[in-house]
Structure 1
Amino acid sequence: HEYCIWTDGLNALLGKDMMSELTRNDLDTLLSMEIKLRLLDLENIQIPDAPPPIPKEPSNYDFVYDCN
């Protein structure tokens, strides 16, 4: 897995094709998601141009360590 990530990263930096099965699967997933997002527009669902506002930070982070 790490080998594929490294070789694909180096190939991308060198302007070569990324050849691993892992990258091919990731690309297929991204393309599938893009197609689905484009189809949403055909169903009159508005996708906002700007992201929603970022909510305030919580007053404490005690919930992070609550493993129960």
Structure 2
Amino acid sequence: MRIVTDTGRCVGAGQCALTEPRVFDQSDEDGTVVLLTDQAEGEVLNNVQEAIDLCPSQALSLKED
């Protein structure tokens, strides 16, 4: 699965980076989401899905490769 972010919608809440720090980080400049990788599978995919569910601005999604 490919992870997609919309930095225009991101409010910098940081739930994604707290939920899965192997995939998500935050910009030092404005706190918006930064992807460390755009691919996920297994346990990481489960955590990415949790981050998507927790995102208050709905700035995260998954797409089929």
TM over 0.5: no
Q: Which has the higher contact order (CA 8 A, sep 6+)?
A: 2
- Bigger proportion of residues as helix: 1
- Bigger proportion of residues as strand: 2
In the superposition, the TM-score normalised over structure 1's length comes to: 0.25
In the superposition, the TM-score normalised over structure 2's length comes to: 0.26
